[in-house]
Structure 1
Amino acid sequence: MQRPGGSCSSSRRHMSGASRTPIQNRCTRCLRARSFGRCYWTSGIRLTFRDSSSRVGNLLRHGQRQLRASSSIWGSWQARHSGSSPAVRNSALMTSERQKAWEAAGPLTINLIWPYTTWGGAQIYFLSLVRNAPKIWKFRVIVPEGSDPELMRLFSNAGADLFFLSHVRNPTPAQGIVEKLKRQLRRLRSEQEILAFVRERTSPGDIYHIEAGPWQSVSLLKKLARRGKTFVTVQNAMPSNVSEARKRAWSRRMTALLSMPSFELFGGNQHAVDDIRTFLPAELHKKVTISRATFSRTDVNEALAMPLRREQVLSGLGLRPEKLTVIAVGQFIDRKGRWDFLEAAKLLKDTFQFIWVGPTHLDAGEAARVKDYGVAGSFRYVLSEDAGRSRAEILAFFRNADIFALPSYWEGLPVSILEAMALGLPIVSTRINGIPEAVVNDTTGFIVEAGDAPAFAAAIKKLEDAPTRKRLAEGALAAATGEFEEIVSVSNVFDRYINAEAP
C-alpha cells in the first residue's frame, strides 16, 4: 500500500453488507477506504497499513484519540474493581505452584490434531494451550492442507511446528445414503493418513490431543492411546434425537476407550461433562474432566487498548453511529441461528442495526435470502478478514457494537460469547448446552429458547433501556473474570498431561 499523498495501485474492490455494497469514503483510484487522510483497507475496520517491508502494523499512533476509558463500561467497572478478582489472584497463586510441577515433568511433545480446515472455538482453545505451556514443551500442529494461513501464522508465532495432511474431512451435512457413505469414506481416509503420520513422525511417549468424536473414531483413538497419552475435548453434549440402540452403541464405544489407562476426555463446559458421564459407568466418570471453552485475556487487553473508532467504522459500513448496534460473530450457518438473527433485524430495524462477522463470503443463494428480509439499511455482513487480521483486531471490532447476540441452535459454549463478555457487552443467546453457564438471565444478559426468533428479538428490545444495558454489561464483564479465564482452563489440561497414566 502506498504512503500518504498518493493512491494505492491495487484494483481490488472491498465490499461490505449483505449485498456487498461499496463502503463509503474510499480512495478514488483503488476504492479502498480513507481514514485520517490515508488509504486504508476499510474505513476504520482494518486499522492497519503496510509499510515498505509489507509488514502489517497497527495504526495506534495515527489519529490517536483519547480512549475515554473512565466513561466506558470497562473503565467504570475497572474503577470500582481495581486489581484482579480474588478468583484470578487465587488462580495465579495456584498456577505458580502448578507451573513448577509442569516444568518438573521435563520436555513433553504434544501433537494437536484436527482433520478439517474450518476453524473456530476449538482452534482458539488449542492456541491457548500453545501460548501458555512451559517453554520446554514442544507442540506440533497437524492439520490438512488449505488450513487458514492466518491461523497457522498464529500457531507458528506461538512456537508450534506445523505439519500438513492431504486429506480433509470438513464437517458438512450429508443428505441421503450415498452422501453419508462418501462422508464416512472421507473420515476413514483422513484417519488412515493421521495414523501413518503418527507412525512415521512421532515417538512413543508423545501426547496426542485430537479433535475427533470418541463415539465414532474409536479405532483411531485406540491406536493413538496405545502409543501415548491421548486426549479428546468434546464441546457439545451428545445428540439427543437418536435411537436408544445408537445411544447404547455410543456407550459401549466410549466405555471401551475410557477403560484404556492412557485415554481421557475433556468437556468444554459442565453440561458436556455431565452428559458424557451418563454414557459411562460410575468408575470412569473421573476420566471426564472439565476444560472450559476459553478466551485469550492477552487479546482482550490488546483490543481494549486500541482506539475506539465507532463513528468511522459504522459510517464506513453505511450504518448510523448513533443507533444501537447488535453484533454476532461466527460461521454464517443454520446451527448458529443466522435466519433468526435476520428475523430479529427485520423486526427491530427501526431502533437497532445488526452486524454479522463471518469467515467466508455469502454465496448467491444466501445473499438473495438476506435481501428478502428487507434489512438493507440495518444489516451488514462483514468478512472476518475485513474486521481484523489478528484476533485482537477482531475483538476491537466487537467494541463498535452495544450488544452481542447469537441465536444458536447447537453449540457448546462459544468462545465469541466469552470474548464479548470480557469486553463488557451484554449478551442475548439461547438455552443450548453450555451457553447458560455463561449467559445468566437478567445478570449477564438474556437467554431464550432456540428457534424462537420473536423471543430473541424481544430480548434484544429490552436492551434498548440504557440502565438495563449497562447493568448487564457490567455483570457480563464480572462473570468473564474468573472461571472462564484462559489460565484456569489450560491449567486443568496441563495437569492431566503430566498426571494421566502412560500406556
Structure 2
Amino acid sequence: MRRIIYAWNYLEWGGAQIHLLAIIKEAKKEFDVVVVLPEGSNKQFIKFLDEEIVEYEFFKGHVTVEPVRGLMKKINKHRKKIKSERALVRYLEKFDLADNIVHIDLSPQQSIAALMRLSWRTRVFITLHNALPAVPKWRDRLWKMKFGAISHFKNFRVFCSNQNAKNYFKRYFTEEFGNTIEVTYTSINPPEIDAAISENINRQEILEKYNLPSNKFLILCVGQFIDRKGRWTFLDAAKKVCEKTDDVLFVWVSNSKPNAEDLKKADDYNLGENFRLITSDEIGSERMDLFRVFRLADVFTLPSFVEGLPISLLEAMALGIPSISTNVYAIPEAVKNLETGILIEAGDDEALANAIITLKNDDRLRKKLSKNGREWVLKNFDEREAARTAIVAYKESLGVK
C-alpha cells in the first residue's frame, strides 16, 4: 500500500494540525499513514493521534515559531529554522519516498530549499491557510520568484484551506500552476458535533470543575493566547462590558500556557472573577472535554487580526453558539454579518463590546444567529468532503484511481 507522510517541525499545535488530522482520518482508509513531528510535541495532540490509531515518529530539531526581537535573536532563529528543516528532510529521506507522498507544513517563501529537495525525490503537498503579511516590494518580488520556481516541479502540489487563500496565492504561482490549486476547506466533523450536542451535561458541575462562577452570561474564545488572535482586543472589550454590567464571564481557552509577562498584563485589567484563562491541559485530552466547555458559552468570539478559516469558530457555530469574529481573510466565508454571526473590524474593542452587549440583550437575535450559523457550517464545512478532495488529488499524483 502506498504511504503518505505528514510532517511539520514545530511544537505548537492548532488549527493546521486539526485540519490535517481530518484528512488523515480518511486517508488512512486507503493509504499507509505516518506522522513525523519533532520531539517534545504537545502530549494532547499525540493523544489525538493515538485515539485515531495513527502511526507517528519523532525527529530531533524543532523550530521556534514565536516572534523574537533584536537582530542577533532573529539571526539565531533563522539559523535554527534552517537546521530544523535540514533535520526534518534528512529524517524523511530515510523512508522509501519514490512511490509515496509527503504532505508537509512548510511554505515556499520561507522554506524553498527544503521543498525543492523533497520535490526532486517524491510527490510533495502543502496546505496554505492565509495571506502573507505586508512586506516591502523587494521581498514580495523575491517571494514571487520562489513560488514561481517551485511551480515548475511536477511533483509539487498545493491545497488551500479556504477560497480566500486560493485567490490570494494564485498570483504568486505561475498561472498554469495556480489553476491546479484545490480548496480543502477547514471543516468540522458533523457526527462529532452532533454527539456533543446530544450529550446530557451538568452545567454546574463543569463550571465548578474550572472554578467558574455560576449565573453569568459566558463569552468564550478558543485559540492560542497570542497577539494575532486578538487577545488584548478581547480583554479591552471585556473591560468595557464589565463597566456596564457585572453579570458576565469572559473565558479564553488556550492550547499553551502564556508566559509570565503576558499573564501579568492580563491581570492588570483587574477583571477579577469576570475573566478566566484556561489552558487545554486543564481540560483534558478528549475532544468531547473541549466541547463541554464550548457548551457553557452563551456567545463565542474570536477577534483575530490574522486568520485563515479558524476551526474553533466553525465548531462554535456548528454547536449553535452565536458567534462574533473579524472581517479578515477567510472568516467572512463562514460569518455573514447579522445572518450567520456578527462581523467586526479587527482591533475594534468598542465594536466587540457593543456586539456582546447586543447579543446579551437580544434573545431573538441570538436564536437567529445560532440557527443560521449552525446550518451554514454543517452545509458548507464538512471535513469528510475536504478529505475526499485531498484523497482524489493524492491519487491523481500517483496515477491511480
TM-score tier, shorter chain, comes to over 0.9
Deviation of 1:132 after TM superposition, in Å, equals 1.6
State the partner residue of 1:499: 396
SS at match of 2:157: strand
**2:259 corresponds to 1:366:** no
| In the alignment, structure 1 residue 155 sits paired with structure 2 residue 52 | no
For 1:80, the equivalent position in structure 2 comes to: none
* TM value normalised by structure 1: 0.76
Alignment-derived partner of residue 379 in structure 1: 275
**What is the DSSP-based 3-state SS (H/G/I as helix, E as strand, rest coil) of the residue aligned with 2:316?**
helix
8 Å Cα contact 2:47-2:285 kept in structure 1 = no
Q: In the alignment, which of 429, 433, 455 is matched to residue 351 of structure 2? A: 455
Provide the residue aligned with 1:425 in structure 2: 321
2: distance between equivalents of 1:136 and 1:500? 15
1:395 to 2:291 alignment: yes
Residue equivalent to 2:165? 272
**Equivalent residue for 1:308?**
201
Distance 2:173 2:398 in 1: 19
Report deviation, 1:372.
1.6
Equivalent position to 2:123, from 225, 229, 239: 229
Q: Is the 8 A contact 1:207 1:229 kept in 2?
A: yes
Shift of 1:360: 2.7
* Paired position in structure 1 for 2:72: 178
Q: Give the Å deviation of 1:492.
A: 1.1
Which residues in structure 2 correspond to 1:190-339 (within 5 Å)?
A: 190-239=84-133, 241-339=134-232
Aligned partner of 1:413 among 309, 312, 330:
309
* Letter of the 1:269 counterpart: N
State the shift of 1:361 in Å: 3.0
CA–CA distance in structure 1, aligned partners of residues 21 and 398 of structure 2: 24
How far residue 252 of structure 1 moved from its aligned partner, in angstroms, is 1.1
Report the equivalent of 1:99: none
For residue 463 of structure 1, give the secondary structure of its aligned residue in structure 2.
helix
- Residue identity opposite 2:162 in structure 1: N
Q: Which amino acid aligns with 1:391?
A: R
Give 1:137's aligned amino acid. Answer: F
Query: What SS is found at the alignment partner of 1:442?
Result: coil
CA distance in 2, matches of 1:307, 1:168: 41
Shift in Å, 1:390: 0.8
Alpha-carbon distance in structure 1 between the residues aligned to 2:239 and 2:18 = 32
**Matched residues in 1 for 2:122 and 2:380: separation?**
30
> 1:484: which partner in 2?
381
Question: What is the CA distance between 1:328 and its match in structure 2?
Answer: 0.4
Preserved CA contact (<8 Å) 1:215 1:254: yes
Q: CA deviation at 1:389?
A: 2.2
Root-mean-square deviation over aligned CA pairs: 1.6
Contact 1:309 1:400 in 2 (8 A): no
Q: Deviations over 1:239-274 (max 9, x none)?
A: 2x2111111111111111122111111111111100
What amino acid is the match of 1:344? A
Q: Which amino acid aligns with 1:171?
A: V
Can you list the C-alpha shifts for 1:424-465, whole angstroms capped at 9, x where unaligned?
A: 111101111111111110011111111111111111111111
1:438 corresponds to: 334
**Residue 117 of structure 1 contacts residue 144 of structure 1 at CA under 8 Å; is this kept in 2?**
yes
Residues 1:189 and 2:83 aligned together = yes
Partner residue in 2 for 1:467? 364
CA displacement at 1:395 relative to structure 2? 1.3
Q: Quick one: distance in 1 between partners of 2:211 and 2:287? A: 24
Shift of 1:399: 0.2
Q: Residues 121-167 of structure 1, C-alpha deviation per residue, up to 9 Å, x if partnerless? A: 11111111221225241111100001112311321332322111110
Question: Deviation at 1:238?
Answer: 1.8
- What is the SS of the residue equivalent to 1:169? coil
User: 1:139, 1:159 within 8 Å by CA — same for their partners in 2?
Assistant: no
Q: CA deviation at 1:306?
A: 2.6
Task: Structure 1: state its 5+ residue gaps.
Answer: 1-106
Residue correspondences, number: 395
Q: Deviations over 1:340-399 (max 9, x none)?
A: 111111111224211011123343322222222121121111121222321122012100
Matched residue SS, 1:140: strand
C-alpha distance in structure 1 between counterparts of 2:397 and 2:209, whole Å: 52
Contact 1:268 1:291 in 2 (8 A): yes
Residue correspondence of structure 1 range 41-80 to structure 2 within 5 A: none
Query: What's the CA shift for 1:501?
Result: 6.3
2:235 partner letter: L
For residues 152 and 416 of structure 1, the distance between their equivalents in structure 2, rounded to whole angstroms, comes to 19
Could you say which residue in structure 1 is the equivalent of 2:31? 137
**Based on CA coordinates, which of the two structures has the bigger radius of gyration?**
1
Does the Cα contact within 8 Å between 2:22 and 2:387 map onto a contact in 1?
yes
Aligned-pair CA distance for 1:314? 2.7
Distance between the aligned counterparts of 2:17 and 2:131, measured in 1?
Answer: 19
Match of residue 52 from structure 1 = none
Q: Could you say what secondary structure the match of 2:220 adopts?
A: strand
- How has the CA–CA distance of structure 1 residues 324 and 493 changed in structure 2, closer, same or farther, with 3 Å as cutoff? same
- SS of 1:405's equivalent in the other structure is strand
Question: Higher helix share goes to which structure?
Answer: 2
Structure-1 residue corresponding to 2:18: 124
Shift of 1:418: 0.6
Aligned: 1:343 with 2:236: yes
What amino acid sits opposite 1:364 in the alignment?
A: A
Deviations 1:178-215 (A, max 9, x none): 11211111111111112211222333121010101121
The Cα of 1:304 is off from its aligned counterpart by 2.0
Q: Note if contact 1:325-1:354 (Cα within 8 Å) is conserved in structure 2.
A: yes
Distance 1:288 1:320 in 2: 48
Unaligned runs of 5+ in 2: none
- TM-score where L is the length of structure 2: 0.94
Instruction: Report if aligned partners of 2:335, 2:342 keep a CA contact under 8 Å in 1.
Output: yes
- Contact kept in structure 2, 1:300 and 1:392, CA below 8 Å: no
The secondary structure found in structure 1 opposite 2:53 is coil
Q: Greater CA deviation, 306-315 or 139-148? A: 306-315
